[in-house]
Structure 1
Amino acid sequence: MITSMVKKNSNEDLRDGGIEALRQEMELAANRIRELVLSLPPHDLLGYIFARHIKAAMAQIGNDHDQEQSDGVKELLNQNQFLLEYVHAVLASHTEPVKVSFDEAKCAELFEQSEKLRQQALLFAVVSSVDTKDGAFGPDTADVEFRAKCTWVILRGNRYQVLEGEFYRYVLAPHDEVLKEVYGASANEIADGFQAMADTMRTGHATAIAEMTKQMEAVKAFASSQSKPLSEAMKGWINANADQAKAARYALDDIVRGGIANVTRHTKLPSALLADLAYQRGEETEFFSAGEFSGTPYRTLPARKKPLIQLGTDYYAVDPCFTRDAGYRALLYNLLVRMPSYKQDFKDRQKTMSELAFADILSSQLPGAKIFHEVYYKDTANKEWAENDTLILIDDVLILVEAKAGAAATIASPALDFGRHAQSVQDLVIKAYKQCDRFFSYISSKDEVPLYSLVKGKYEECGRIRRTDYRVMLPIGLTVESFSPFSAYCKELPVVEPLLGSHPFISMSIDDLFVLKRFLTTPGEFAHYMEVRQAVAGMRRAHIFDEFDHLGAYLTKNRFDLEIADQLANDNANLVVWDGMCSVVDKHFEGENWALNPVPKQDYPEEVLLLLAALDGTREKGWLSAESSIRDLCTDGRNDLAKYLGKLRSSLHKYPARHFLLGGKIIPLFVWLQKHGQEIDWKKVRDKASASALSVNATSVVCVVAIGNADGAYQRAYRLDVSVPKIKTKENEHVFEDAARLSSSDRVVKLQPPEPLARPVGFKKPGRNDPCPCGSGTKYKKCHGNYMGSERW
């Protein structure tokens, strides 16, 4: 993690940076890069750059412990990637020269000029943004503009290549039939092609080297069998093994002539589709045309429009990192060009796909959730019918998703038109934000409000909702494509305030969901992450780049929102930036066997995991709240919880019930352990939980009741609502007396001595249709009568 605090005093020296002179220097460097690329054979140049790329990557293997070396290797890889984009740009912008030859000295100069241009572009981001006083992001516009320009220059493919196929398979599924008709390939086949493209760039050199090694061993064996020198046997082996010889030639081409970028050879994508994604030599006319920023990174690189280039009869993915967004946009654009009659159906299917995506992709994280699609209601402001995309209700968590199926990011340069860049944010973020705000205002307008669906032109009531039923309310704007870094920076927009004053808005993409579902596998994990994520979304001046950095921060720090809040409280800082937190996520997707490796998780003692599993298995009202309280605990708190859970559970063979209070940073946790098969005195549980809370001067307490055995796991667990009295009365004086006794102990974890449970005086077993004694308000047969058993009363 890199945590930086930007001091309140600004750097005056940057205000006199010579913006015009810097722009001219960038144009000169860009022009020299163009001359050098055109003077070199493209296949040999690609092979040289890729070899340098692989050499750098191999140097990093086994050196993760050396942070300085690791950072240096990553920087070199970023330099190579920047240069590859320029090779693509030059090839797309110029026809093939007459004849050129490879010159390593020119390659060396090309690397130097490329890095010079990259550094100039980053410096330009600083000096051209520092004087911005105000704008779409209010007083933070200068900082956001600077970061947008930096991102424009250096952000390339900040996602996981091994998930390319999964993304394309999902987003292209609605258009499967049309894709077959236009390109002769299904959505799954096209997705497989994009995954093969990514895999070849990722592992192509290793595969090629293995193939060369295998064929060389075959040649040696052939020469030995012929009793001939290797040089003499080679020709005979080639004549006798045409297929193997061809494989060896392709492998050599992959290693030394950029063949790993040859998507014609390495994928089964139809040629018509590849042509739609590719530039022909000289087709691009804008990038190097005369005018401001000619040929610099602050124009739109051709790879942002079409990620491939045609060299001879084959198509190449010269730049491997724009194939996701640029490929997706180019594919859909050309699909409609080839079949314009599909335009309306296309829009409808895109809309449906994006609106269903959140609940669909995260279905395992939302078990038993009540899901409303296209929910209607009367706007409280104008009394007109209004609609929201997806409403998800699970336990005491409400999730409102407003999906945007259009492109998430403009391809207009922030240097040429930052206003347009900012407008793209407003079009996507603010519209979704206002739609969420409208719904939140509606459900808060009355104690209970109806929800409607539109059926054959008529509004029919489909449910009712009470705002007070929900502890957590998550307004989410969802885009199809990645929206970094604006997805994290949208909170800096002046109009984006927490809804109803306490529910910050979150911006996410479908990309993010595919990763989150892998790392946050249970409903409790996911819900707790979203709580913490929402807390950070409400913190202005706290910058974390994208969703994967948020996820990495959660996995390594848990309540990282509290740490950021502490940093923001520092009087000497006006901005906190967390960078590199995604490394724990990144590492999971490295290596050939990544899918077989367990995903990184937060550390929990086994005993605590058993309790969380019991809550998840029971899923009674309030279970997500109970899980959240447990997951809020720090490492020491979790260890304390495990210690006392294990100690007291193991004594249940002697006692019908045990209990203790665990003090927490936020709300104390009271745990009541009940022996399986023994009756529960619900009043005693509540009184003891209240007294325990009062003993530590807490105004509220989370009460978890778990049923288990001394020699086994927990059968069930659930949360019990407990009210901590504020005023002593005759009815509750025994609670205050118990609290006084408990407070005499100076232990942080208050472990109460065992107390055998006696049947309450006047106790009467509840009937099946009577209210459950736990106080849930539900009939006994539908609550604890389901699993307590009549013999326990």
Structure 2
Amino acid sequence: MSKNALPFMDITKLEGNIENSLKKIRRTTSKADPLITMVQLHVLKLFNHLGDIEASVHGDIKPFENKMLDITQSLIVSSNEKTGTGYLDKDEVTEYMEELESLYTSAAIYVNIAQKDDLIKYSQGMQMNVSGTLYPFFEKDHFTDMLSPYTDLFNEIFGITSFDLVEGLLAISRHLRTMGFMEILLDSGASPEEELSKEVFLNLAEYFNVESITRWPKEFIKELSLQQGECKEFYESDLQVMIKEPPIKYKPFIGIGDKYYCFSINNLIDNFYRTVLRALRRKKGSVTNKVNDIQKDLSEELPFKLFKTILPTARTYRNIYYKAPVGANGKNEWCECDGIILFDDVMIIIEVKGGALSPVSPFSDEEAYKKSLNDLAKNPYEQSVRLYKEYMRGGKIEIYQKESKKRYKLITAIESSNFIQACCVTLDDFNEIASQIEKTEFIQDSDLPVWCISINDLRVYPELFDSPSLFLNYLYQRSHATKNPYIKLNDELDHIGMYFAYNDYSTRISEIANEEEDIGEIYIASHREEIDVYMARKINSSLDDDEEASFLDLLIGSAQKPKQEMEFMFEQLINLLDSTGDDICIRAARYLLLLDSNTRDNLSEFLTSRGKKLLEFRRRKVILTPYMALNYKKGDRIRDLPVISIFLLHTSNKLFKDVVQRKRFLLERVVYEDESTYCILVGINNNKEFKKVITQIIGPEQFQALPESAYNQLKINRERISKSRNIQEFE
């Protein structure tokens, strides 16, 4: 939204509205026991979700409902006011929720009309309203990866292993995300219409007792907790309650007396990694350097582990060095890169940052926030651009391994990379800003496409992409979206959702823009809903709760893994090409995935109809070799595609085994002699299933290598076949 948005709103009046709402909210909470208030709000949130299970699964709830436990706990630990010993009645809870909604509405408008950069306003709005960025299905793997390297330090300082730490965290997650509390609540006789007694509320509070849930050492839990009124100087004004990060971001548990409770699971999970590292440093400052060293090693290892899952046959080079011009004088110096991933003709330049995204809110310290964006996005991208430019300068780059301070060993020379992508990875969650930062001043204008992503979001890719060709095609389409000024998405996973929906989603959005004059900006609705539902259902399966899974199946149906919709025969061909593990076959699949939907449908129709006819003629004395050519019309070429010819054969055909015969067969049938053609031979069995595939490139050099007599005979055969063949054409 522009700086002049909502000009009818008086910013001073909005500040007054925020102040008045907070006064009423504090006055309400001061009437009751803070522990009981937190339990009451949890009960309210639970019943609200039961009333709208689909919203619960989607996470599509109002910001004030999403954040009500967080802000209430933050106000309790930052308030010095005396509190009552009872509980809020039903009318007081209703009034409290209405005032929270009013508070968040005023704060949202305030952020939108403030005199700040659009990126800062966007970031502030996201932090103020959004939480729960890691899918719970990944919690075990994520925190095992993130915390295991610190196990000796945890054991030394707190007497707890990283395994115990992760198990306790998962126990809290299961405790607060499943229906366990509902069972206890129903046993107490509670319902949305009835009020409970003080004693019942206090008994229910034990459900949130961190020590009982985790069996962690009390000293460790205390280090992650804040008591009522402990942070009374945290907020300098009422406005800061909404524009400054909450104190519970640093210490997620609330201490009341000698017991410690967890109510906000999203706040805990979102900030747990940095929280425990701060705890280590506070208890023993001398371990800071060791923590930093562990974090550096972790950040350099983890992204490559995830990429290896997506592209298992890729070549990976980590911690590499190369020479490039540096500084004003352009003198060649040794430069470092975190790593390169090579898959066929694709190069992914990886730069990883283990440093923290600034914990402060963008509005409370804009300078610190922008500096962290520089560190986590701008600097790594500029490092990637330097390597990219060096490669493009000669179409080749030599990479080295550092053996000592001045000694470097050559690893290999990289060349023939036709698609190059920069990937900037952060250990901290980068979700609320990553998809926007690619179009800001933090990313310089360059031909090198950039992909900024957090480890949290990178974990989703192996779950959704089990095909290397689809993943690489996604990267290609995403690189176009990066350059499209109309595509401004709220979330990294919206890119995946749009890819599944439209494939070439950049062109789709450009077509919409071209239909209207002076369109300005295009609003793009969220496209991650199917992913959210699928991952929510994965959580249920991981909990092994058949009853709960069946309950959701009955209410909203079963959830299938999101994917790009394709005709069955086309999808079968892509899967077969992928399954070979052969780079050329996978490259052919990538090329086919660049086809538009009409061409894909025509290809599927060809495979279906000609496959049926092929099987009909199989036992007759008729030679039938149906094939088609794509992208061969020189006047109507798709620049990024080569000529592709697809030959449909029975699986028993000798061409799959006889290399010499196959080469001659293809030389006689490719469309042109003077350019390369990707020839895909597909074998279909009697059950109409694709069971064999070979991709062979036929290029000018193979014609030129023939003896003159052989070439002349080949030329005669080509002319004869050309007159008789019927190439299926696509308009």
Coarse TM-score class (shorter-chain normalised): 0.7 to 0.9
1:579 is aligned to 525
1:29 is aligned to 21
1:455 is aligned to 403
1:278 partnered with 2:264: no
2:628 is aligned to 660
Q: Given residue 520 of structure 2, which amino acid in structure 1 is its aligned partner? A: N
What stretches of structure 1 of length at least 5 have no aligned partner?
1-5, 65-69, 133-141, 217-248, 750-793
After TM superposition, give the deviation of residue 632 of structure 1 in Å.
3.0
CA 1:364–1:295 in structure 2 vs 1: closer, same or farther (change >3 Å)? closer
Distance of 1:444 and 1:563 partners within structure 2 = 30
627, 631, 656: which one aligns with 2:589 = 627
1:351 is aligned to 296
CA 1:460–1:724 in structure 2 vs 1: closer, same or farther (change >3 Å)? closer
After TM superposition, give the deviation of residue 492 of structure 1 in Å.
2.0
RMSD of the TM alignment (CA)? 3.6
327, 330, 335: which one aligns with 2:280 = 335
Deviates more, 1:119-128 or 1:314-323: 314-323
CA 1:489–1:209 in structure 2 vs 1: closer, same or farther (change >3 Å)? closer
Pairing 1:385-784 to 2, within 5 Å after superposition: 385-407=334-356, 409-457=357-405, 458-466=407-415, 469-494=416-441, 496-497=443-444, 499=446, 501=447, 503-569=448-514, 570-591=516-537, 593-595=540-542, 598-649=560-611, 651=614, 653=618, 655=623, 657-662=625-630, 667=641, 669-675=644-650, 676-678=653-655, 679=658, 680-682=661-663, 685=666, 688-690=669-671, 703-707=679-683, 709-711=685-687, 713-718=690-695, 720=697, 722=699, 748=730
2:708 is aligned to none
2:74 is aligned to 89
CA 1:207–1:625 in structure 2 vs 1: closer, same or farther (change >3 Å)? same
Count matched residues.
672
Distance of 1:543 and 1:81 partners within structure 2 = 24
Deviations 1:80-111 (A, max 9, x none): 22221221112211358364322323222211
Deviations 1:644-687 (A, max 9, x none): 22444452746474311356977464312355422444365356
Q: Contact between 1:614 and 1:717, CA under 8 Å: does it hold in 2?
A: no
306, 321, 333: which one aligns with 1:384 = 333
CA 1:723–1:40 in structure 2 vs 1: closer, same or farther (change >3 Å)? farther
Deviations 1:102-130 (A, max 9, x none): 2323222211211111000111012114x
Q: Contact between 1:45 and 1:257, CA under 8 Å: does it hold in 2?
A: no
CA 1:563–1:108 in structure 2 vs 1: closer, same or farther (change >3 Å)? same
Q: Contact between 1:703 and 1:722, CA under 8 Å: does it hold in 2?
A: no
After TM superposition, give the deviation of residue 541 of structure 1 in Å.
3.9
After TM superposition, give the deviation of residue 405 of structure 1 in Å.
0.3
CA 1:275–1:579 in structure 2 vs 1: closer, same or farther (change >3 Å)? farther
Distance of 1:700 and 1:581 partners within structure 2 = 38
Deviations 1:50-77 (A, max 9, x none): 222122212223689xxxxx99x9344x
2:555 is aligned to none
272, 279, 296: which one aligns with 2:241 = 296
1:224 is aligned to none
Distance of 2:604 and 2:592 partners within structure 1 = 11
Q: Contact between 1:30 and 1:295, CA under 8 Å: does it hold in 2?
A: no
Deviations 1:542-563 (A, max 9, x none): 2111222222222233222221
After TM superposition, give the deviation of residue 165 of structure 1 in Å.
2.5
After TM superposition, give the deviation of residue 148 of structure 1 in Å.
1.9
Distance of 1:598 and 1:363 partners within structure 2 = 25
Q: Contact between 1:299 and 1:416, CA under 8 Å: does it hold in 2?
A: yes
Pairing 1:120-135 to 2, within 5 Å after superposition: 120-129=106-115
Q: Given residue 608 of structure 1, which amino acid in structure 2 is its aligned partner? A: F
- TM-score, normalised via structure 1 length: 0.77
Q: Contact between 1:152 and 1:298, CA under 8 Å: does it hold in 2?
A: no
1:19 partnered with 2:11: yes
Pairing 1:288-327 to 2, within 5 Å after superposition: 288-289=235-236, 291=237, 293-327=238-272
Q: Given residue 33 of structure 1, which amino acid in structure 2 is its aligned partner? A: I
2:94 is aligned to 108
Q: Contact between 1:688 and 1:735, CA under 8 Å: does it hold in 2?
A: no
Moved over 6 A (4+): 212-216, 663-666, 730-746
CA 1:413–1:736 in structure 2 vs 1: closer, same or farther (change >3 Å)? farther
Distance of 1:260 and 1:148 partners within structure 2 = 34
After TM superposition, give the deviation of residue 360 of structure 1 in Å.
0.5
CA 1:614–1:110 in structure 2 vs 1: closer, same or farther (change >3 Å)? same
Deviates more, 1:629-638 or 1:739-748: 739-748
After TM superposition, give the deviation of residue 280 of structure 1 in Å.
1.8
Q: Secondary structure at the match of 2:452?
A: strand
Q: Contact between 1:380 and 1:445, CA under 8 Å: does it hold in 2?
A: no
Q: Given residue 174 of structure 2, which amino acid in structure 1 is its aligned partner? A: D
1:233 is aligned to none
Deviations 1:719-751 (A, max 9, x none): 5255799xxxx99998997999799989538xx
193, 200, 205: which one aligns with 2:175 = 200
Q: Given residue 386 of structure 2, which amino acid in structure 1 is its aligned partner? A: R
305, 311, 315: which one aligns with 1:366 = 311
Q: Secondary structure at the match of 1:53?
A: helix
CA 1:564–1:497 in structure 2 vs 1: closer, same or farther (change >3 Å)? farther
After TM superposition, give the deviation of residue 387 of structure 1 in Å.
0.5
54, 59, 62: which one aligns with 2:46 = 54
Q: Given residue 41 of structure 2, which amino acid in structure 1 is its aligned partner? A: I
Q: Contact between 2:486 and 2:510, CA under 8 Å: does it hold in 1?
A: no
CA 1:214–1:739 in structure 2 vs 1: closer, same or farther (change >3 Å)? farther
Q: Contact between 1:79 and 1:114, CA under 8 Å: does it hold in 2?
A: yes
Q: Contact between 2:33 and 2:83, CA under 8 Å: does it hold in 1?
A: no
CA 1:714–1:304 in structure 2 vs 1: closer, same or farther (change >3 Å)? same
Identity %: 19
CA 1:495–1:327 in structure 2 vs 1: closer, same or farther (change >3 Å)? closer
1:118 is aligned to 104
CA 1:540–1:304 in structure 2 vs 1: closer, same or farther (change >3 Å)? farther
CA 1:550–1:259 in structure 2 vs 1: closer, same or farther (change >3 Å)? farther
